[in-house]
Amino acid sequence: MPSNHHTDEVFNEKRKPKNPIRFHLQLNEEQKAAKEVILGSTITLLAGKAGSGKTLLACQAALDGFFNRQYDKIVITRPTVSKEEIGFLPGDLHQKMDPWVQPIYQNMYALYGKDRIQPYIEKGDIEIVPLSFMRGRTFCRHAVLVDEAQNVTMEQMEMIVTRLGIGSKMIICGDDGQVDLKNRGDSGFKFLYSAARKIKGLSAVTLLQNHRDPIVDDLIDLYEEESARRAGKK
């Protein structure tokens, strides 16, 4: 009996892989432990300094679940500029957001290859949603990635986490050392991180290991000391 090529392709796309997904990059032990927390939680806050691998881990966990048919879609969001007002930028929505989501795309390409990731982006299975476009939506069976969340305000964070529908998972990445808000106390990431033990299904993990050149750790310490010194003069 002749096979229906289109039907076979659709069936194969939806069929759960028999073997584990083989990523190009492997997680270290710290990241593996953090991934277990992500798998056992509905919302996970991933904290860590620059180079700690937060975004890479979030992308790996989301892709793993997506390819294993636990989620129908991956949604990416992050703060941009001017309180998320990006209308003045040229191009369509994807072109406007592209500079801000490139770090996430680059991590996905490194994990699984650009030629294999790009078709999912073009089909909308991996979707960019600016913060200002999230209000009113409900994400069911989605993996939602929130990057640079230290620059998400309290009001924005409340709006983001309350978008979560049945069968979804949210991974929120942030670094308290890189808050760009005028008032650092407005960051919704630190508040939610501190509240993690109060709500079932809400977890928080801090990654400590540096995945960049060792000089990065020394530079971060240097600037933290200078920031503390300047703050003490005020």
- Per-residue model confidence as pLDDT tens digits over 98-138: 777 888 999 999 999 999 999 999 999 999 888 888 888 99
Higher per-residue pLDDT: 6 or 216: 216
For residues 1-8, give the mean pLDDT: 43
Lowest mean pLDDT among 55-69, 76-90, 93-107, 148-162: 76-90
The pLDDT, as a whole number, for residue 4 is 47
**Residue 130: which residues within 8 A CB-CB, separation 6 or more?**
77, 80, 84, 86, 93, 96, 97
Looking at the chain, the whole-number percentage of residues with pLDDT higher than 70 is 85
How is residue 213 written in tokens? 């050149």
Dist CA 22 CA 1 (whole Å): 34
Please indicate whether residue 178 or residue 140 has the higher confidence score (pLDDT).
140
Average pLDDT over residues 132-150: 92
Hunting for tokens 């490139």 — which residue is that?
102
Read off the pTM.
0.83
Phi, psi angle pair for 154, to nearest 5°? -60, -45
For 173-209, letters b (16+ CB in 10 Å) and e give: bbbeeebeeeeeebbbbbebbeebeeeeebbbbbbee
Higher pLDDT: 16 or 29? It is: 29
The three-class DSSP label of residue 146 is strand
Q: Judge whether residue 179 has pLDDT over 50.
A: yes
For residue 7, what pLDDT is reported? Answer: 37
Is the pLDDT at 145 greater than 70, yes or no? yes
Vertex 20 angle, CA 114 and 111, to 5°: 25
Q: Which of 64, 70, 93, 48 is nearest to 210 (CA)?
A: 48
What pLDDT does residue 84 have?
44
Lateral strand order in the sheet of 142-146: 126-128, 73-77, 142-146, 169-174, 43-48, 202-207
Q: How confident is the model at residue 95 (pLDDT cuts 50, 70, 90)?
A: low
pLDDT confidence of residue 6: 41
Helix (H, G, I), strand (E, B) or coil at 72: coil
- Domains for the chain: give ranges and CATH numbers: 31-233 (3.40.50.300)
Q: What pLDDT was estimated at residue 225?
A: 86
